[in-house]
């Protein structure tokens, strides 16, 4: 990590605080759109963690403000000395007050920041205001594990700022590379792979699929094998070049709490998701839509679950960048193949 003008807390304690803040933020991934997931840990002068918090959802307190509230509720606010936050504290008034104000109103005088805010309208404002007020502000070194994971946390948010949500493709293949389950079955993947798929649904804001998948399978797209975020309402985006979405399935999906969106092509679908405030979309679709995604390059990472003859599953990930948010999801392999290093298609 880079050093600032003073360093009162042991670097190992700062690293542990980053781990705690990142882990807390990961628990909220999929619930904060259109805001990014953010975590914060508050330490005392000896480097002991006093409180950890994360932003829960848009309109509710940001991570820094909530962590300070928890310190106050525990009667330890006077001991607060250092804040470790995954994203640069905001310095603007939105649905909640700026986090810089909450920090400046507290005893905190040292702040560690994982990554700068990528929003061009506010980038740099938070760190600058804290420095101008005399606080000791540090940034995690760009090549550190802390910065990498903090970047992974906000990758979907940064993608949305660039014009479209982050797109993850989930593709399940049988022994022979086919995608059709055997007669009478809805899937051919193992229970652990099903849990992984539902953890991904929980983390994302939208499901992208094709009309053919809806007609053939009538999928529910609900989160079932893990606990979902309370009162979470996601988008189902259907590539439909006509008006073929079955009315009964639409009614059932809306009754399950989904918002439905259709579009005749992928660019229009992505624009619609952006308009809906979606940060992270997962594609669960058939071969035709996946082929269109490959052809148009409208994907960011590609998760393949391949059934093995020994009844296990081989999970692999191909990604455009090492800071894919998939690396934060439990069950994702640590080895992620970067697309620029690949010599074959994402489904191979």
| Whether the predicted pLDDT of 144 surpasses 90 | yes
Options 60, 64, 335, 339, the catalytic residue: 64
- Distance, in Å, from the CA atom of 151 to the CA atom of 149, rounded to the nearest integer, reads 5
Residues pairing with 307 in the sheet: 313
pLDDT higher than threshold 90 for residue 46: yes
pLDDT tens-digit series, residues 237-255:
999 988 889 999 999 999 9
- Most confident by average pLDDT, 44-53, 213-222, 285-294, 330-339: 44-53
pLDDT attached to residue 183: 56
Alpha-carbon gap, residue 91 to 62, rounded angstroms: 12
Most confident of the ranges 13-27, 162-176, 213-227, 286-300? 13-27
Query: Which residues, in sequence order, are bridge partners of residue 115?
Result: 87
CATH 3.40.430.10 residue ranges of the chain are: 165-341
pLDDT of residue 177: 57
Ordered alpha helix ranges (H), 34-185: 63-73, 99-104, 125-132, 145-162
Architecture of domain 11-158 in CATH? 3-Layer(aba) Sandwich (3.40)
pLDDT for residue 90: 87
What's the order of all strands across the beta sheet hosting 280-283? Answer: 259-263, 235-239, 206-210, 280-283, 166-173, 301-307, 313-319, 337-338
On the question of pLDDT at 181 being above 80, the answer is no
Was 39 annotated as part of a binding site?
A: no
Residue-wise pLDDT for 50-105, tens only, equals: 999 999 999 899 999 999 999 999 999 999 999 999 999 988 666 667 889 999 99
Q: Which residue has the higher pLDDT, 329 or 241?
A: 329
CATH number of 165-341: 3.40.430.10
Give pLDDT, residue 127: 92
- pLDDT at position 4 is 39
Check the annotation: does 150 bind a ligand: no
pLDDT digits (tens, 9 = 90+) for 249-308: 999 999 999 999 999 999 999 999 999 999 999 999 999 999 999 999 999 999 999 877
Q: Residue 131, annotated ligand binder?
A: no
| 284 labelled ligand-binding | yes
Collapsed DSSP state (helix, strand, coil) of residue 137: strand
Residues of the chain with CATH 3.40.140.10: 11-158
Work out the average pLDDT over 194-209: 96
Mean pLDDT (the chain, rounded)? 89
Does 60 appear as a known binding residue? no
Tell me: is residue 144 an annotated ligand-binding position: no
Mean local confidence (pLDDT), 34-63:
96
Predicted local confidence at residue 93, as pLDDT: 62
For the residues of 229-248, what is the DSSP string, one character each?
PTT---EEEEE-SSS---HH
Q: Residue 173 above 90 pLDDT?
A: no
Q: Is 217 annotated as a binding residue?
A: yes
186 pLDDT above the threshold of 90? no
Percent of the chain with pLDDT over 90: 76
User: Is 289 annotated as belonging to a binding site?
Assistant: yes
| The pair of three-digit structure tokens given for residue 38, joined into one six-digit string | 């953010």
Given pLDDT bands bounded at 50, 70 and 90, which one contains residue 185? Answer: low
Secondary structure (H, E, C), 261-273: EEECCHHHHHHHH
Q: Does residue 24 carry a catalytic annotation? A: no
Q: Is 172 annotated as a binding residue?
A: yes
Nearest CA to 2 out of 123, 146, 125 is that of 146
What pLDDT shows up at residue 180?
64
Mean pLDDT of 4-27: 86
Average pLDDT over residues 210-214: 94
**Residue 224 annotated as lining a ligand binding site:** yes
- Determine if residue 213 is labeled as part of a ligand binding site: yes
Tell me how far apart the alpha carbons of residues 319 and 47 are, in angstroms, rounded to a whole number. Answer: 36
Per DSSP, the residues of 151-185 read HHHHHHHHHHHHTS-EEEEEEEE-TTS--PPPTT-
DSSP 32: S
């Amino acid at each position: 990590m880079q050093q600032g003008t003073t360093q009162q807390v042991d670097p190992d304690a700062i690293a542990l605080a980053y781990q705690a803040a990142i882990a807390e933020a990961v628990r909220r991934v999929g619930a904060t759109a259109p805001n990014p997931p953010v975590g914060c840990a508050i330490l005392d002068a000896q480097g002991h963690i006093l409180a950890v918090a994360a932003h829960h959802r848009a309109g509710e307190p940001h991570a820094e403000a909530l962590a300070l509230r928890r310190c106050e509720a525990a009667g330890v606010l006077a001991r607060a000395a250092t804040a470790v936050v995954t994203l640069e504290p905001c310095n603007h008034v939105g649905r909640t007050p700026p986090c810089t104000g909450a920090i400046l109103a507290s005893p905190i005088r040292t702040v560690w920041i994982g990554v700068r805010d990528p929003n061009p309208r506010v980038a740099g404002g938070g760190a600058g205001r804290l420095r101008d007020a005399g606080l000791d502000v540090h940034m995690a070194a760009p090549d550190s594990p802390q910065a990498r994971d903090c970047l992974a946390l906000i990758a979907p948010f940064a993608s949305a700022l660039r014009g479209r949500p982050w797109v993850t493709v989930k593709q399940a293949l049988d022994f022979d590379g086919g995608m059709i389950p055997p007669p009478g079955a809805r899937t051919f993947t193992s229970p652990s792979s099903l849990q992984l798929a539902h953890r991904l649904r929980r983390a994302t804001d939208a499901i992208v699929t094709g009309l053919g998948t809806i007609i053939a399978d009538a999928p529910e797209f609900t989160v079932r094998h893990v606990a979902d975020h309370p009162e979470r309402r996601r988008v189902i985006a259907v590539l439909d070049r006509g008006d073929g979405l079955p009315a009964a399935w639409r009614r059932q999906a809306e009754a399950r709490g989904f918002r439905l969106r259709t579009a005749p092509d992928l660019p229009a679908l992505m624009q619609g998701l952006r308009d809906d405030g979606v940060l992270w979309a997962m594609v669960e679709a058939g071969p035709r839509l996946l082929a269109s995604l490959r052809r148009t390059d409208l994907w960011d990472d590609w998760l393949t679950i391949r059934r093995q003859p020994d009844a296990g599953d081989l999970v692999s990930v191909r990604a455009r960048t090492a800071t894919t948010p998939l690396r934060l999801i439990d069950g994702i392999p640590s080895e992620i193949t970067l697309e620029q290093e690949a010599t074959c298609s994402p489904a191979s």
